Amino acid sequence: MTTGEGATSAKAVRDASEAFQVRNTGFDPMGPVVCSKVVGSGRTVNYIDDGGAWAVPLLFLGGAGTTVRAFRLLEFARSFRRELGIRVVSVERNGLGQSVFDPAVGLDEYAADVWSLLDTLGIGQVSVLAISGGGPYAAAIIAARPAQVRSLHLACAFAERPERADALMEADAVAADPVAWWRFPADSSIHSIPGFVDSVIEEATRGLFAKGRDVPPDGLSQAFRLYESEPLRDLTSVQAPAFLYWGSADELVPLEQMGRWTAALAGTAMVERVYAGEGHDVQYRHWDQILADVKFLGGRIVASRGGRTQLIVPEEEAEFLAAGGILGIAAWQRPTDAPPEPFLGPTLQR
């Protein structure tokens, strides 16, 4: 090989290296990071705080028996959330996940700890979102400091323990088979989210067994007792706009529960989004709309057509859908030949 040939070869290697320059300099997220902090009561709370200080703060309350890491089940739209600029804070409930169980901590004590943490984080006004079993906890939180609630978002949320849920809501049964508590019908839209079902299994086992299989699920048992014994808090002083999301075919938390909320929030401006024929999974299928409502307070509808996601004004919704559009981000327009997620059984998810 001549000197000229060697130089040419070296240059070709450099050119190839530069052509495939890797731009990723950090780690990709694997779900929210759980932090711990001692709050005003002297108790230690586990929480997540994901998003910049400049972003719109959203307090998230997951369903019955869920841990603070349950929020990652909604991060299939993480890019959309970050594009909108929404910061999510969530505080783990008593005795769930890796939180120590304290029998003295009920709804009001939990609410006080949440507000203490928000004070520490420098969050004054906050939007509050509750899904399913997070409803009664959200009511206690907003009743404690209604003037600091920017907006309220309720997605198929309990106002109280639904009568039709008795067969499903037994702590011993859930502890024996926590995954069954999360199963979705075969036609649920969540099966189009890659990896969702597997993540659900991880959340189910973390919620009950993160401290070991020999530890009884005291947090879940207490939650079920509170659902049954605690009345919905007085919300007449709440002035923030409220958004309610329900499936007309929801058997676990039926529309009667939404009626309890609308009666309790009669003094507020309300937007009711009832999705015909949908069940107890609207919090996932329409998570994108919840995010848009947090950001724009009802001023935009998330819709897509031709693989393009758009934020349209409410007056355009009917015409947009009639022209072949769908509600939600373009990812919901799953190709018909894409394989669905494996089905785990017919039981409703909370």
N- to C-terminal Cα separation, the chain? 71
pLDDT in 10s for each residue of the chain, 350 residues: 555 666 667 666 666 666 667 778 889 888 899 999 999 999 999 999 999 999 999 999 999 889 999 999 999 999 999 999 999 999 999 999 999 999 999 999 999 999 999 999 999 999 999 999 999 999 999 999 999 999 999 999 999 876 655 545 566 666 677 777 778 888 999 999 999 999 998 998 888 888 876 666 788 889 888 998 899 999 999 999 999 999 999 988 999 999 999 999 998 999 999 999 999 999 999 999 999 999 999 999 999 999 999 999 999 999 999 999 999 999 998 654 444 444 333 333 33
User: Residue 99 has what pLDDT?
Assistant: 93
The pLDDT value given to residue 163? 62
Q: Are strands 301-305 and 326-327 parallel, antiparallel or unpaired?
A: antiparallel
Question: What whole-number distance in Å separates Cα of residue 189 and Cα of residue 46?
Answer: 31
Q: Model-level pTM greater than 0.85?
A: yes
Whether 302 and 290 have beta carbons less than 8 Å apart is answered as no
Q: Which two tokens stand for residue 280?
A: 């107890």
> What is the 3-state composition of the chain as percent helix, strand, coil, each rounded to the nearest 5?
40, 15, 40
CB 249 within 8 A of CB 220: no
DSSP category for residue 29: P
- Alpha helix (H) residue ranges in the chain: 3-19, 78-84, 107-120, 135-144, 171-176, 196-209, 218-229, 255-264, 282-285, 287-296, 317-322
**CA-wise closest residue to 328 among 289, 293, 292:** 289
For the chain, the structural domain boundaries read 28-299
Output the DSSP codes for 192-261. GSTTHHHHHHHHHHHHHHTT-TTS--HHHHHHHHHHHHPPPPP-TT--S-EEEEEETT-SSS-HHHHHHH
Cα–Cα distance measured from residue 247 to residue 277, given in angstroms and rounded to the nearest whole number? 6
Report the distance separating Cα 247 and Cα 250, nearest Å: 5
Q: Which pLDDT score is estimated for 336?
A: 41
Alpha-carbon gap, residue 180 to 174, rounded angstroms: 7
CB 93 within 8 A of CB 70: no
Task: Determine the CATH number of domain 28-299.
Answer: 3.40.50.1820
Please count the residues of the chain.
350
Dihedral class, residue 306 (left if φ above 0, else alpha if ψ from -120 to 50, else beta): left
